[in-house]
Amino acid sequence: MTMSNRLRLSTILPAIALILVSCGGTTSGGTASSVSAATFGSKEPSFKPMCTPAAGKQFKVALIIAQGGLGDQSYNDLAYSGFQRAKTDFSVVGRVIQSADIVSQGQAIVQQAGQANFDLVIDLEFSTYDAVKAAAPSFPNTQWMTPNFTSLAANDTGYLFNEQDGSYLAGALAAQVTQDSKVPGITPSKVIGVIGGVKAVGIDKFLVGYAQGARDIDPSVKVLVNYSNGFGDPAKGKQLADAMFSQGANVVYQVAGGTGTGVIQAAQSANKYAIGVDSDQDAIAPGHVLTSMIKRTDFAVYDSINRLACGKLKGGETINLGLKEGAVGLSQMKFTRNAIPSKYLDKVADLQQKIIDGKIKVWNTITQGTPSWFTS
Amino acid sequence: MGGLVNRQGGIVNIGLEPMMLVGAFTAVVVSAQSGNPFLGVLAATVAGALLGLLFSWSITRLGANEIVAGLGLNLLVLGFFGYLLPTAFKIEGTLLPAGLVGLPKVEIPLVNQIPGLGPILSGHDILTYLSWLSVPLVSVFLYRTPLGIELRATGANEEAARAAGVPTLRLRDFSTVVAGAFSGLAGAQLSLGVVTLFNKQMTGGRGFIALAAFYFGDARPALTALGAVIFGVFEAAGFRLGSSGVPSQLVQMLPYLVVVISLTLVAVRRELRVRERARAAAA
């Protein structure tokens, strides 16, 4: 029972080899559903060519899909939509590489992608980054792109998102809403909650930003913190969230993947609020997802192809994307906007501007470790 | 309770977990297709029972080792969903089909007014009540009906039972079918009662906790239910402690720790009793 499912799977499906789909410049083969990801308050990220691409030159670009696959209505679909967008704006021959078991096949896939002479390989799967680090130097004519990670090689460009900034805004909104009985379903309290998938700096980055946003609104607001120790157990997510609601929380932020769907359902059945993550999850339980902390992976993908086409993709550097670029931020709150008093939204917009202007610095656990005021 | 009946029939069923998973999946798909969660529950029960029958045949007719077959079933079902979800449903994570209806919560009049106890006893889905009801029902079945007594005889000594004319193979199959049906129900409760979705990791070891519960209860219904309640209490306590500063990995280990400790105590007690009896016989 402690064996990871991934491990069990890999023992059972070793023969399911990689599936290569969508060859050539057509748009066939993708099953990605459309993912809406426009952010609140801030402008849309700029999906505009940086230059007038030189005529005649065609670029070969591969997109390696991560665990979850196309159709996850989240990370992969979002990245894929940025890929599609870039294909219409630039002269790009795109290829999507999908595998039934990317984790165990990762090394082989990365190696094959390198040998295929692509101009750019965008690798969405975190677990293959060791392989990218090892392989990239052997293929100097290929540029690599690794989102959510720093540059791994002289020909790899890393993209980092300032998720802490978006989480800060989520915390600031939650801390205001939880105290207001005029908002439907709220029993005023100074308690909010957050559930992380595992205790790790990459997850705590979200949690600490959220707690800091809440503190800056009202230091007496208590932020309940818990971890589900897994990303695929929605029943546990529901139970953890229920425990927080019964401890007085009105809003619980989920940073726990598939476990988080249980958090959202808990909010729906308790008539409280959840906060979604990564993609716009507001529609999963309309009216019960206060907002979603969105990460524009599509923009990172588009941006890397944009740079490639304009000769500006140098490799060896890490690009930071944040509120300023519109690459992280809160959702448009289509279903909750009218229920939230506008002064709270104004406050959030104000804080957003302050972060962009550098007047507020949000804690980054990746570079700064865990702050002393954060207890989990 | 299902695993308990199985154990009484002489089969240690470590396939409860995958049977739950199949039940959870069937419940979601059928409920979404039909718009009726009760049909989903029914289908989950049938699916669990069928899987139980297949599993049982491999043990009783083909002579497979129950642990090996159980392990195989675990791997097979996980692999099956690992393949099915991306190919047939184009997803790998959470299955949340349109039109999926969960089980309604049932409030018991008067009971839900009792301060303190009300929210514990009332406001659950029908499967939760059914699980409570199953404790006395299984007890009556095992100890008060001829079939139940024959089943226990089979589990205690299959050869002696067969010699006495009991159809032991069929009884063992029957007990596994019951285990499968109950597991299917448990899965449906997870995917339609607790949450309303399916995820291939959603059983999260709960089938193994059930296994520990009937070991704790020595395969007796009331004691097993007590074991399950104890594990549940520790789990719930863990969820609350986790958000008050105690490391969550540590507190979420609590139910499993309780399993290990209680099983040790059960074994020690049994050993002492055996020695006492030996001493009494010698005296």
| pLDDT score at B125 | 81
Tell whether B191 and B277 lie within a shared domain. no
Say if residues A308 and A273 touch (Cβ distance below 8 Å). no
Mean pLDDT for the stretch of residues A106-132: 91
Number of residues written out for chain A: 376
Mean pLDDT for the stretch of residues B51-77: 85
Q: Which of A10-14, A100-104, B56-60, B155-159 has the lowest mean pLDDT?
A: A10-14
Tell whether B53 and B119 lie within a shared domain. yes
Structure token digits, residue A42: 């801030």
Tell whether B186 and B246 lie within a shared domain. no
| pLDDT score at A43 | 59
What is the rounded distance in angstroms from the CA atom of residue A330 to the CA atom of residue A294?
6
Q: Where in chain A is the domain with CATH 3.40.50.2300?
A: 13-161+297-321, 163-295+328-368
Contact: A199, B248; criterion CB under 8 Å? yes
Residue B144 lies in a domain: yes
pTM for this predicted structure: 0.77
Tell whether B164 and B226 lie within a shared domain. no
- Find the helix packing angle between A5-12 and B66-88, rounded to 10°: 90
Distance, in angstroms, between B277 CA and closest chain A CA?
37
Q: Is residue A43 exposed (0-12), middle (13-18) or buried (19+ Cβ within 10 Å)?
A: exposed
Span A299-356, pLDDT tens digits: 999 999 999 999 899 889 999 999 988 899 999 898 998 899 989 999 999 999 999 9
Tell whether B73 and B175 lie within a shared domain. yes
Say if residues B1 and B131 touch (Cβ distance below 8 Å). yes
Structure token digits, residue A255: 């940073």
Q: Which residue has the higher pLDDT, B12 or B178?
A: B178
Quick one: residue B103, left, alpha or beta (phi over 0 = left, psi -120 to 50 = alpha)? beta
Tell whether B102 and B236 lie within a shared domain. no
Chain A residues lying within 8 Å of B241, measured CB to CB: none
What is the rounded distance in angstroms from the CA atom of residue B104 to the CA atom of residue B128?
11
Give CA separation, A333 vs A57, A275, A294, A340, in Å.
Answer: 42, 10, 11, 10
Mean pLDDT for the stretch of residues B113-119: 69
Residue B213 lies in a domain: no
Residue B137 lies in a domain: yes
| pLDDT score at B3 | 65
Q: Give the residue numbers spanning the domain of B232.
A: 220-283
Q: Give the count of beta carbons closer than 10 Å to the beta carbon of residue B58.
A: 19
Mean pLDDT for the stretch of residues B65-77: 86
Question: A29 pLDDT band (50/70/90 cuts)?
Answer: very low
Contact: B199, A232; criterion CB under 8 Å? yes
Whether residue A3 is predicted with pLDDT greater than 50 in this model: the reply is no
| pLDDT score at A30 | 34
| pLDDT score at B226 | 83
Question: Going edge to edge, which strands form the sheet with A191-196?
Answer: A222-227, A191-196, A251-255, A273-278, A289-295, A328-330
Mean pLDDT for the stretch of residues B244-254: 74
Whether residue A214 is predicted with pLDDT greater than 70 in this model: the reply is yes
Whether residue A68 is predicted with pLDDT greater than 50 in this model: the reply is yes
Q: Which of B37-41, B110-114, B183-187 has the lowest mean pLDDT?
A: B110-114
Distance, in angstroms, between B172 CA and closest chain A CA?
25
Tell whether B52 and B168 lie within a shared domain. yes
Mean pLDDT for the stretch of residues A172-185: 93
Residue B211 lies in a domain: no
Span B122-154, pLDDT tens digits: 778 888 888 888 888 888 888 888 888 888 888
| pLDDT score at B93 | 66
Tell whether B189 and B230 lie within a shared domain. no
CATH number among 3.40.50.720, 3.90.920.10, 3.40.50.2300, 1.10.1060.10, domain A13-161+297-321: 3.40.50.2300
Residue to test with chain B: of A18, A67, A74, A226, most B Cβ within 10 A: A226
| pLDDT score at A19 | 35
DSSP-assigned letters across all residues of A171-191: HHHHHHHTT-TTSTT----SE
Domain end marker among B203, B238, B262: B203
Distance, in angstroms, between A234 CA and closest chain B CA?
6
Domain end marker among B146, B175, B203: B203
Residue-wise burial string across A174-184, b where 16 or more C-beta atoms lie within 10 A, e elsewhere: bbbbbbeeebe
Q: Which residue has the higher pLDDT, A55 or B65?
A: B65
One-letter identity of residue A337: R
Asked if B135 reaches chain A (Cβ–Cβ under 8 Å), the answer is no
Tell whether B22 and B118 lie within a shared domain. yes
Provide the number of structural domains found in chain B.
Answer: 2
Residue B212 lies in a domain: no
Asked if B84 reaches chain A (Cβ–Cβ under 8 Å), the answer is no
Tell whether B12 and B122 lie within a shared domain. yes
What is the rounded distance in angstroms from the CA atom of residue B178 to the CA atom of residue B4?
10
Helices (H), B92-243: 118-121, 126-144, 146-156, 158-163, 168-188, 206-216, 221-242
Say if residues A170 and A213 touch (Cβ distance below 8 Å). yes
Q: Which of A1, A225, A257 has its CB closest to that of B243?
A: A225
Question: A36 pLDDT band (50/70/90 cuts)?
Answer: very low
- CA nearest neighbour of B73 among B94, B97, B53, B93: B53
Question: B117 pLDDT band (50/70/90 cuts)?
Answer: low
Mean pLDDT for the stretch of residues B270-274: 86
Whether residue B65 is predicted with pLDDT greater than 90 in this model: the reply is no
Cα A66 to the chain's mean position, in Å?
A: 12
ipTM for the assembly: 0.73
Contact: A261, B94; criterion CB under 8 Å? yes
- Adjacent-strand bridge partners of A143: A120
Contact: A376, B245; criterion CB under 8 Å? yes
Say if residues B110 and B122 touch (Cβ distance below 8 Å). no
Q: Which of B17, B195, B239 has its CB closest to that of A234?
A: B195
Tell whether B137 and B260 lie within a shared domain. no
Q: Is residue A284 exposed (0-12), middle (13-18) or buried (19+ Cβ within 10 Å)?
A: buried
What is the rounded distance in angstroms from the CA atom of residue B168 to the CA atom of residue A15?
40
Q: Give the count of beta carbons closer than 10 Å to the beta carbon of residue A372.
A: 6
| pLDDT score at B13 | 81
Tell whether B273 and B187 lie within a shared domain. no
Question: What is the CATH code for A163-295+328-368?
Answer: 3.40.50.2300
- Adjacent-strand bridge partners of A295: A328
